[in-house]
Amino acid sequence: MTDLTPLTFTRLASGLQMGYVEAGPKNGKPVLLLHGFPEFHWSYRFQWPALAQAGFRIIVPDQRGYNLTDKTPPYDLDTLARDIAELQAALGIGQSHIVGRDWGGVVAYAFAHRYPERVHKLVVMNAPHINAYLDAIRAGNLTQMRKSWYVYAFQVPVLPEAAFARHDFELIERAFSRLKHVTPDDIARYKDAHRQPGALTAMIGWYRALMQWMVRYSFQPPVEPVRAPTQVIWGKRDLALDFRINDTLARYVPDVRIASILGASHWVQMDAPERVNELLLSFLKP
């Protein structure tokens, strides 16, 4: 299996060794693409060539604990956001566009709150803003409560990792084989990434750390409004997230617009790559 672009490694100021893919002209406006769970940089294979061809400098990291990046805790949001700031610094980037999906979107929101001077524009795909998510739960959104069952299941030690690894990552194969444009070769790549020593515990560790982080803030994380112009892209056939968790999003992200894609799932960037790329280019171009 040959990647479109080879993986490069850099050591962050924290000491973490992070792998990433880079494409496009070095003098192009930087765009960082942050993957979700249970993914790695390959999940943006339809986006980075299109953005690079449009003249952007594309950086797609494997985030902390994923694929060949170091499996070094902690995995709380403060640390994950700092990783992205340190990656920018390591690559000589002062400010960039930030694109995130699923967990990558959660990190993108956190990054935009903590490092506003480092964000030009923000794109979030099928990912909750933590405060808006908690608003929905407090308002009694039973649909989201049911959809979030796995978040609570992941708090159990050891068993989630065993479930994912069972029968040669059968859960991963079942999830991704339902998606449009996903090939057996793609699924093999995901399995290879998840076989890396410590990867499953690290990936699931993000959920465990999130619960501890939320308890620390008494389920009311402090937040300043995101100043960056923000585009939300949402696949409406999302089995993990209810679209209504965006109902109070404008409280925390005042300059936000939302585009929904009716036929796309939680993995909107793979289900509807052409439409996603169209929205990305339209929003990110000057």
Pairing of strands 17-23, 7-11: antiparallel
Is 113 a known active-site residue? Answer: no
Is 168 a known active-site residue? Answer: no
What is the DSSP secondary-structure string of 61-87?
Answer: E--TTSTTS---S---HHHHHHHHHHH
d(CA 53, CA 208): 38
d(CA 44, CA 219): 32
Q: Active-site residue among 83, 238, 266, 271?
A: 266
Is 266 a known active-site residue? Answer: yes
Q: Identify the bridge partners of residue 57 per DSSP, sorted by sequence position.
A: 30
Pairing of strands 7-11, 119-125: unpaired
Q: Active-site residue among 102, 135, 186, 238?
A: 102
Q: Active-site residue among 133, 190, 207, 252?
A: 207
Would you give the end-to-end CA distance of the chain in angstroms?
Answer: 36
CB atoms within 10 A of CB 10: 15
Catalytic residues: 102, 207, 266
